[in-house]
Amino acid sequence: MNEEIRKVIYDKYIAPTKKERPDYIGVEIEMPVVNLNGKPVDENISLETAEKFAKHFGFSESGRDADGNMTSAVHKQSGDIISFDCSYSNLELSFGKASNLFDIKESFEKYCRFLNMEFSKHGYTLTGMGINPHADINHNKPIPNERYRMLYHYLHSYPQHKNEVAINFHKRPDFGTFTSASQVQLDVEYDKLTDAINVFGLLEPYKALLFANSYLPEYPDFLCVRNMLWEHSMQGYNPHNVGMFDKKVSSIDELIDYIGSQSIYCTMRNGKYINFTPLTVSEYFSRPEIKGEYFDGEKYSEINFTPEISDIEYLRTFKFEDLTFRGTIEYRSSCCQPLSEAMTVAAFHTGLKEKLYELKEILENDHIIYSHGFNATELQKLFSKRQNPYFTNENKIERQLMRILDLASEGLKDRKLGEETLLSPLYERVQKHTNPASSMLDGIRNGIPMINYIQQYSAI
């Protein structure tokens, strides 16, 4: 990788972590829209509800689809955004930079109450699950705009690439239309950057136990199937674009090398998205010309184009710990949680960020799950399933999770805002050795219908 590309990577991802800035929190929560009548979501109802929301709260339209429908709107004072993610059955609330988790909680609950009041008029609801419980009922069609049309087309191209990479592609390339995440962005300082990536990577298996909430019947072994769906799709064509870092990142230079080994699969020219077979950053910028395809309004057509240095903007990865151009790490592996417990993900990460080196001490000396020959990536996959691996001792895991939760609580107490109370649902999960997906499946096994959980997880 030449020095010009290294500098572009450094300027985009590393330099922002050196800037003096307030310590903010960014939260994004995606939620399934569910038709309680057991029928597909009518996108017109989703659109009508979003437009009523925007009018009621004074949001300004910021995006439209090819048919002229509003896809996103922003509140200019707060920076809060309502949008649809990939489909009209997946609604996202994103919150402007905040210093206090209770401010986000207050806005989230206010917004969700209004949305569910409007949705209820049609027999619909937003619910807190990582997989839309009607994934096999809904139409699962992408929003008709440049970005989501391209993404849907790209994900469905996997049969053409089966022999190019060692991936067992799944057969749900429409997964983006029905998967919902709870994501938090936290500012990271340059001096703590590699430690934050490494330590929170070691935490991922424990997070799978705490936050699993994405069950899809065709993959019955999983309590958290979202991550598998990303990794075994075209997004995982290059494994460096998804999941966890394969090994400890020992320096900033090594991190830049790693980013250079990630792949670009799309760019834009003249307002049109072009997708192509993924190329690593190094390879992409070394080519004089690349062949891709774009939607010309009627069909997909081939196009040859020349890479431009500004195309680094289209390096879009889905790492569990994803370094962004904002000087933040975005923590992306957690499923959407029951709406009454929606802030647990942000509180957990915020508290542990305050205690990074104490967390490092716990995890680097962990002999409860890290003494059986499995690395963090392998353990995260194992703990995403319904059956814990053979070597686990549930009581020891409970004690370790309690240590981690206590540390997160101490970190929040140091902020002196009372935010530690937001962790209460996690303590209860640990004591009961459960998570939202496990609780739901246990209930269904005992005769409680799915609709009860859809409604329970929609309550605030």
Which residues neighbour 351 within 8 Å (Cβ) at sequence distance 6 or greater?
407, 408, 409, 410, 411, 412, 419, 420, 423
Phi/psi at 222 (nearest 5 deg)?
-100, 135
- The total of other beta-carbon atoms located within 10 Å of residue 375's CB is 14
Q: How confident is the model at residue 238 (pLDDT cuts 50, 70, 90)?
A: very high
Q: How confident is the model at residue 45 (pLDDT cuts 50, 70, 90)?
A: very high
Q: What is the pLDDT of residue 411?
A: 98
Cα torsion through 95, 202, 315, 81, rounded to 10: -10
Structure tokens at 30: 């995606």
Q: What is the pTM of this model?
A: 0.97
Q: What is the pLDDT of residues 52-93, one digit of tens each?
A: 999 999 999 999 999 999 999 999 999 999 999 999 999 999
Report the DSSP beta bridge partners of residue 295: 300
Q: What is the pLDDT of residue 210?
A: 98
All structural domains of the chain, each given as residue ranges with its CATH number in brackets, are 21-142+180-246+317-456 (3.30.590.20)
Percent of the chain with pLDDT over 90: 98
Q: How confident is the model at residue 1 (pLDDT cuts 50, 70, 90)?
A: confident
Question: b vs e for 84-106, b when ≥16 Cβ sit within 10 Å of the residue's Cβ?
Answer: bbbbbbbbbbbbbbbeebeebbe
Q: What is the pLDDT of residues 310-366, one digit of tens each?
A: 999 999 999 999 999 999 999 999 999 999 999 999 999 999 999 999 999 999 999
Q: What is the pLDDT of residue 448?
A: 98
Q: What is the pLDDT of residues 193-237, one digit of tens each?
A: 999 999 999 999 999 999 999 999 999 999 999 999 999 999 999
Phi/psi at 84 (nearest 5 deg)?
-105, 135
Q: What is the pLDDT of residue 246?
A: 84
Q: What is the pLDDT of residues 292-309, one digit of tens each?
A: 999 999 999 999 999 999
Phi/psi at 422 (nearest 5 deg)?
-70, -15
Mean pLDDT of 105-109: 98
